[in-house]
């Protein structure tokens, strides 16, 4: 059997296992919206952890971070990963935990539904769906583009970028539309294990081929001394360093597909356990991705610009046989599918719960499935355009999501916060973000997300003082338990 055929067989076997897991989950599911979108709210610690882990591992991590490290060196680890080890758990405590309580009190299935009910404003739910939809598309496209690049490298163009992208979308749609959240969480356990184990083991194999970790580090220092230290110049200025670190931590729960997984937790212990060891394992993977990028420079020193996104699959191809290459490709597919499924499912649930609601539970599920097919089509169209590098696309998307963070903080911790304030804050934050990206506004020094975050916060607080808060009978059933949970009541 030739190398391409071996890779193909490994990937097909992998897909068969994933679809089998999806089918098993489908047999266990009930025809209710809560079961389809939240897996019946019974996720325990391990499933929660793997669901978060699998959902959070993306081509941005594997190929985007390694691609950036290829150009900027080890400093990328501190810039884009380290802060998340602390801020993600803190965000779980100050946003995830109260949101979990509120979702149960309000019987909310989606993030948009939760805030719309908390602030008694259906229009806020519709606006949130729109914003989530707009910023999710570039993020979706990074995943599918990552698969296209990986398949392109591993099969040496035997399977084209377009066919690979279409393939990953179809497979994901098949098991997501049938099994719902239960299927995505079960497959995440499997996919997270495949990917995590592969990455941790493979980096040691690559290092061993160079004579060990000290030897390869010394080789990098000798040939590319500029990669061994962090420069003082953009993007590593102190202000940007801090802001991007915060953004990388805050964005995790600003993602609707991750917040909705928090809603699926069975109890507080499951939530806490899922986050307890998450930083060290997750950030370890970011370190591995950084090392792949820097070390890959030794063997492939000529990548320019976004071509460095290919460094990870190129290194794998040069150090492993076809069987392991097939596993690596499966690992990338695992990473993409476990994120894509969650993103698609969450957006479809918001459509049926927050925009086009009032349907029977069975019709909600049918409409959600139809929407997934349409969403897949739009994502495919964006992917074949390939407008920028994986890191650049993800940065745009992440900035948009982080701009929503003040709404969550205010909505979950401040009784005085109002629906008009939330709506104007979302509009103001996004207006500043767009104006900064297109340089319509002068930038006093920090990256755009810092200013959009500030604009959203200031407008959110300011407008609340000039508008009437929701009545006490709307506020208290949610804010009372949250206040007690946070130790203030």
Partner 1 sequence: MTRRQHRRIFWVLVVVLAALHVDFFNHGISPPPFFGWLPLDLAYHIAWVIAAAALVIYFTRYVWRDYDGS
- Residue ranges in contact with partner 1 by CB under 8 A: 74-75, 77-78, 81-83, 85-86, 89-90, 93, 97, 101, 104-105, 213-215, 217-218, 221, 225, 228-232, 236, 238, 241-242, 245-246, 267-269, 272-273, 275-277, 279-280, 283, 287, 481-482, 484-485, 487
What is the closest distance, in whole angstroms, from the C-beta atom of residue 406 to partner 1 in the complex?
A: 18
The answer to whether the beta carbons of residues 52 and 261 sit under 8 Å apart is yes
Q: Is 43 helix (H, G, I), strand (E, B) or coil?
A: strand
Q: How far apart are CA 168 and CA 326, in angstroms?
A: 15
Q: How far apart are CA 21 and CA 445, in angstroms?
A: 49
| Residue nearer to partner 1 on the CB measure, 9 or 217 | 217
| Residue nearer to partner 1 on the CB measure, 248 or 372 | 248
What torsion, rounded to 10 degrees, do the Cα atoms 297, 301, 302, 305 define? Answer: 20
| Residue nearer to partner 1 on the CB measure, 178 or 230 | 230
Q: How far apart are CA 311 and CA 149, in angstroms?
A: 10
| Residue nearer to partner 1 on the CB measure, 65 or 147 | 65
What is the closest distance, in whole angstroms, from the C-beta atom of residue 245 to partner 1 in the complex?
A: 6
| Residue nearer to partner 1 on the CB measure, 3 or 481 | 481
The answer to whether the beta carbons of residues 248 and 84 sit under 8 Å apart is yes
What is the closest distance, in whole angstroms, from the C-beta atom of residue 158 to partner 1 in the complex?
A: 38
Q: Count H helices, E strands: the chain?
A: 24, 0
What is the closest distance, in whole angstroms, from the C-beta atom of residue 305 to partner 1 in the complex?
A: 24
| Residue nearer to partner 1 on the CB measure, 84 or 365 | 84
What is the closest distance, in whole angstroms, from the C-beta atom of residue 220 to partner 1 in the complex?
A: 9
| Residue nearer to partner 1 on the CB measure, 229 or 381 | 229
Q: How far apart are CA 80 and CA 11, in angstroms?
A: 31
Q: At what angle do helices 238-254 and 256-263 cross, to 10 degrees?
A: 50
- Write the CB contacts of 423 (distance below 8 Å, at least 6 apart in sequence): 121, 123, 124, 127
What is the closest distance, in whole angstroms, from the C-beta atom of residue 225 to partner 1 in the complex?
A: 7
Task: Supply the Cα-derived Rg of the chain in whole angstroms.
Answer: 22
The per-residue DSSP string of 400-444 comes to HHHTTHHHHHHHHH-TT--HHHHHHHHHHHHHHHHHHHTTSS---
The answer to whether the beta carbons of residues 115 and 305 sit under 8 Å apart is no
| Residue nearer to partner 1 on the CB measure, 104 or 126 | 104
What are 12's two structure tokens?
Answer: 């097909």
What is the closest distance, in whole angstroms, from the C-beta atom of residue 403 to partner 1 in the complex?
A: 20
| Residue nearer to partner 1 on the CB measure, 1 or 280 | 280
What is the closest distance, in whole angstroms, from the C-beta atom of residue 243 to partner 1 in the complex?
A: 10
| Adjacent-strand bridge partners of 43 | 265
What is the closest distance, in whole angstroms, from the C-beta atom of residue 404 to partner 1 in the complex?
A: 21
Q: How far apart are CA 303 and CA 315, in angstroms?
A: 13
Q: How far apart are CA 452 and CA 450, in angstroms?
A: 6
- Write the CB contacts of 51 (distance below 8 Å, at least 6 apart in sequence): 43, 184, 185, 188, 189, 192, 261, 264, 274, 342
């Amino acid at each position: 059997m030739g190398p391409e055929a071996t890779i193909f067989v490994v990937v097909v076997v992998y897909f068969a296992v994933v679809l089998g897991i999806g089918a098993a989950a489908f047999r266990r599911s009930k025809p209710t919206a809560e079961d389809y979108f939240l897996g019946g709210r019974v996720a325990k610690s391990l499933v929660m952890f793997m669901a978060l882990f699998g959902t959070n591992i993306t081509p941005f991590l594997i190929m985007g971070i390694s691609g950036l490290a290829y150009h900027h060196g080890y400093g990328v680890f501190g810039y884009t990963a380290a802060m998340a080890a602390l801020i993600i758990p803190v965000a779980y405590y100050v946003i995830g935990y109260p949101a979990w309580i509120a979702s149960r009190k309000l019987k909310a299935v989606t993030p948009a539904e939760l805030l719309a009910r908390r602030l008694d404003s259906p229009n806020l739910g519709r606006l949130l769906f729109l914003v989530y939809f707009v910023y999710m598309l570039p993020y979706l496209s990074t995943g599918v583009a990552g698969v296209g690049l990986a398949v392109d490298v591993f099969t040496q163009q035997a399977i084209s970028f377009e066919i690979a992208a279409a393939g990953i979308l179809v497979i994901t749609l098949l098991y997501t539309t049938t099994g719902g959240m239960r299927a995505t969480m079960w497959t995440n356990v499997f996919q997270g294990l495949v990917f995590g184990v592969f990455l941790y083991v493979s980096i040691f194999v690559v290092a061993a081929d160079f004579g060990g970790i000290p030897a390869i580090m010394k080789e990098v220092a000798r040939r590319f001394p500029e990669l061994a230290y962090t420069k003082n110049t953009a993007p590593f200025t102190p202000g940007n360093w801090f802001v991007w670190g915060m953004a990388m931590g805050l964005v995790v729960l600003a993602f609707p597909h991750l917040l909705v997984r928090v809603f699926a937790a069975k109890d507080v212990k499951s939530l806490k356990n899922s986050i307890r060891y998450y930083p060290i394992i997750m950030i370890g993977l970011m370190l591995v991705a950084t090392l792949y990028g820097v070390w890959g420079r030794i063997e492939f020193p000529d990548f320019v610009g976004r071509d460095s996104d290919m460094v990870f699959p190129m290194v794998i191809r040069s150090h492993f046989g076809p069987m392991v290459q097939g596993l690596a490709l499966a690992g990338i597919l695992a990473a993409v599918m476990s994120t894509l499924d969650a993103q698609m499912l969450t957006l479809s649930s918001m459509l049926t719960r927050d925009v086009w609601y009032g349907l029977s539970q069975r019709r909600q599920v049918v409409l959600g499935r139809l929407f997934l097919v349409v969403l897949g089509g739009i994502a495919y169209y964006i992917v074949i355009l390939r407008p920028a590098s994986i890191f650049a696309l993800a940065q745009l998307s992440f900035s948009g999501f982080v701009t929503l963070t003040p709404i969550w903080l205010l909505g979950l911790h401040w009784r005085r916060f109002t629906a008009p304030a939330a709506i104007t804050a979302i509009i103001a934050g996004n207006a500043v973000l767009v104006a900064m990206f297109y340089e319509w506004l002068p930038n006093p020094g920090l990256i755009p997300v810092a200013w959009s975050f500030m604009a959203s916060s200031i407008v959110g607080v300011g407008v609340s003082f000039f508008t009437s808060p929701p009545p006490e009978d709307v506020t208290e059933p949610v804010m009372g338990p949250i206040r007690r949970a946070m130790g203030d009541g």
